[in-house]
């Protein structure tokens, strides 16, 4: 039988002469349990929103995006593009021509990001599932149509039910600027709104999708594109995506960049990663503050057990054994709270994940708060709380062997 754990366990459950020690110890364990459960639940909610945002972004962003390394446009007539299209993992390829433009609608003016797309995009885009007004259609006979983001539609007052068209302007690449007639140096097209989509505020506030033919007319191009979007078949593994990406980079050469979703929105994904780390560190700091209750209860217990400490010394106990007894006593309080917090936090997260009993307020893309329970978060939480509890217990335990100075 190991003596230190045995004595520490007896001290934990034994009745103290001062009831306040029991109360502080109980408060410490409850505080650690609440902190642990909060950490599990908040990280799980963050995982849910993180997954939701990535899922929504996938409706706009392709699995892979090919752009020119230099310049804005290129003509995708290389044999490598035919090879890409023939790969079994590739579901479709779409040509994109995108530029920031000036728009006017029913007397209002503003800026927009106009994205010209081909018929493949029009047929297979996941944006069709996010239309909140009208339909996703870019052609009605010979009439060119456009779909706009909800934020842009709200700002400009665009409504697919109205007969007004959207006027799109861009400076001419071929004509010189005339000081006497500036409008002559601006290209102009007109499209009619067919639908409004809602994905997220950053995209909805600026994006307008229209046929690539109209964008080429506006920008005075013939076959040029600014990017080629590649969507892979559903279920393609990350390993296969990386392999295809490297093969495409090898075949296209240094003149092109092949970006996965992370590189397409690198700042967003990095920010989300850093935010999760910041949340974890803030909650661990809160748990450290809670854990100082253990410091107080352990310090009071050491004072109460001075006679026991002297008895152990007279029986030949080393100072290291005495310190270990009180470190284990404090750590047991932490571990008790940790175990209770894990049970509650995991149980709550699983119930919300499967039944969604806590609903989102207002009108949102999901009805209940999204939660994804990650085992890595559970292990990280358990390790963090256990380490905090151990370190806090070390501080008062050192005083248990401090001898009175003569």
Residues 201 and 108 in one domain: yes
In this prediction, residues 315-329 reach a mean pLDDT of 68
What is residue 186's three-state secondary structure?
A: strand
Q: Would residue 405 count as lying in a domain? A: no
Distance, in Å, from the CA atom of 325 to the CA atom of 127, rounded to the nearest integer, reads 63
200-237 pLDDT, tens per residue?
777 888 999 999 999 999 999 988 999 999 999 888 88
Do 338 and 365 lie in one domain? The reply is yes
Taking residues 53-72, report their average pLDDT.
84
- Count of the separate structural domains present in the chain: 2
Tokens of 300: 């009071």
Same domain, 226 and 307: no
pLDDT for 230-261, tens place per residue? 999 888 888 888 999 998 888 888 889 999 88
Which contacts of 84-92 are long-range, i.e. CB under 8 A and separated by 24 or more positions?
84/230, 84/248, 84/251, 87/244, 88/233, 89/232, 89/233, 89/236, 89/240, 89/244, 90/230, 90/231, 90/232, 90/233, 90/244, 91/124, 91/231, 91/232, 91/233, 91/234, 92/120, 92/124, 92/230, 92/231
Name the pTM for this structure. 0.69
Same domain, yes or no, for 309 and 239? no
Query: What are 186's two structure tokens?
Result: 């601006």
**Single residue among 263, 282, 309 that ends a domain in this structure:** 263
d(C-alpha 397, C-alpha 297), whole Å: 11
Please report which residue ranges of 265-318 form alpha helices under DSSP H: 266-304, 306-314
Asked whether residue 370 is assigned to any structural domain, the reply reads yes
> What pLDDT score does 20 carry?
62
- The answer to whether position 93 is within a domain reads yes
Pair type for strands 227-232 and 64-68: antiparallel
49 and 142 both lie in a single domain = no
Greatest mean pLDDT range, 40-49, 120-129, 301-310, 311-320: 40-49
Q: Can you give the residue range of the structural domain that contains 126?
A: 64-263
Residue 87 and residue 49 share a domain? no
| Distance in angstroms (rounded) separating the CA atoms of residues 21 and 360 | 42
Reduced to 3 states (helix: H, G, I; strand: E, B; else coil), residue 197 is: strand
Confidence (pLDDT) at 403? 45
Place of tokens 């980079």: 249
Based on the fold, state whether residues 277 and 349 are members of the same structural domain.
yes
15-19, 206-210, 361-365 — most confident range: 206-210
Residue 339: which pLDDT band, with cuts at 50, 70 and 90?
Answer: very high
The verdict on 85 and 211 lying in the same domain is yes
Q: Which residue has the higher pLDDT, 317 or 107?
A: 107
The pLDDT value recorded for residue 67 is: 92
Please state, in angstroms and rounded to a whole number, the distance separating the CA atoms of residues 137 and 146: 7
Assess if residue 36 is contained within a domain.
yes
Checking if the pLDDT of 8 tops 70, the result is no
pLDDT of 19: 59
More confidently predicted of 361 and 101: 101
- Asked if the structure places residue 404 within a domain, the reply is no
CA-nearest of 133, 130, 145 to 191 is 145
Does 122 share its domain with 238? yes
In whole numbers, what is the pLDDT of the chain averaged over residues? 83
DSSP letter (8 states) at residue 130:
G
* 253 and 126 in a common domain: yes
End residue of a domain, out of 232, 263, 294: 263
Q: What is the pLDDT of residues 128-171, one digit of tens each?
A: 888 999 999 998 888 999 999 999 999 999 998 888 899 999 98
Q: Are residues 118 and 184 in the same domain?
A: yes
Residue 406 lies in a domain: no
Work out the pLDDT band at 404, boundaries 50, 70, 90: very low
On the question of pLDDT at 178 being above 70, the answer is no
Looking at 243, 263, 283, the residue that finishes a domain is 263
DSSP letter (8 states) at residue 397: H
Q: How far apart are CA 272 and CA 381, in angstroms?
A: 19
Residues 194 and 290 in one domain: no
% residues pLDDT > 90 (the chain): 34
pLDDT digit string, tens, across residues 83-136: 888 888 888 899 999 999 999 998 899 999 999 999 888 888 888 888 999 999
The answer to whether 70 and 394 are in contact (CB under 8 A) is: no
Going by C-beta distance under 8 Å and a sequence separation of 6 or more, which residues neighbour residue 355?
none
Tell me what the mean pLDDT of segment 323-334 comes to.
Answer: 76
């Amino acid at each position: 039988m190991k003596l230190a754990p045995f004595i520490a366990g007896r001290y934990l459950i034994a009745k103290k002469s001062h009831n306040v020690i029991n109360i502080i110890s109980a408060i410490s364990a409850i505080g650690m349990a609440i902190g642990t459960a909060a950490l599990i639940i908040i990280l799980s909610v963050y995982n849910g929103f993180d997954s939701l945002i990535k899922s929504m972004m996938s409706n706009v962003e392709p699995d892979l995006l090919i752009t020119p390394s230099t310049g804005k446009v290129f003509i995708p007539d290389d044999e490598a593009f035919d090879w890409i299209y023939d790969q079994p993992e590739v579901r479709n390829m779409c040509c994109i021509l995108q530029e920031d433009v000036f728009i006017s609608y029913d007397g209002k003016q503003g800026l927009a990001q106009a994205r010209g797309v081909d018929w493949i995009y029009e047929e297979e885009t996941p944006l069709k599932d996010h239309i909140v007004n009208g339909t996703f259609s870019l052609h009605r006979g010979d009439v060119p149509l456009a779909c706009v983001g909800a934020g842009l539609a709200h700002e400009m007052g665009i409504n697919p039910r109205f007969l007004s068209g959207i006027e799109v302007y861009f400076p001419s690449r071929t004509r010189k600027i005339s000081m006497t007639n500036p409008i002559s140096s601006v290209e102009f097209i007109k499209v009619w709104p067919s639908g409004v989509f809602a994905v997220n505020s950053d995209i909805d506030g600026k994006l307008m999708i229209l046929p690539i033919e109209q964008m080429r007319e506006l920008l005075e191009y013939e076959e040029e594109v600014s990017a080629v979007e590649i969507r892979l078949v559903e279920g393609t593994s990350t390993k296969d995506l990386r392999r295809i990406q490297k093969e495409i980079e090898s075949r296209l050469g240094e003149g092109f960049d092949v970006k996965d979703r992370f590189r397409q929105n690198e700042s967003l994904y990095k920010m989300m990663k850093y935010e999760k780390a910041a949340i974890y560190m803030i909650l661990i700091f809160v748990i450290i503050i809670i854990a100082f209750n253990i410091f107080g209860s352990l310090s009071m217990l050491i004072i109460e057990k001075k006679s026991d400490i002297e008895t152990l010394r007279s029986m030949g106990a080393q100072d290291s054994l005495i310190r270990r007894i009180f470190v284990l006593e404090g750590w047991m309080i932490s571990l008790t709270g940790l175990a209770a917090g894990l049970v509650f936090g995991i149980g709550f997260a699983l119930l919300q994940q499967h039944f969604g009993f806590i609903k989102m307020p207002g009108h949102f893309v999901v009805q209940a708060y999204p939660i994804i329970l990650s085992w890595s978060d559970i292990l990280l939480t358990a390790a963090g709380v256990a380490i905090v509890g151990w370190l806090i217990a070390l501080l008062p335990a050192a005083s248990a062997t401090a001898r009175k100075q003569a």
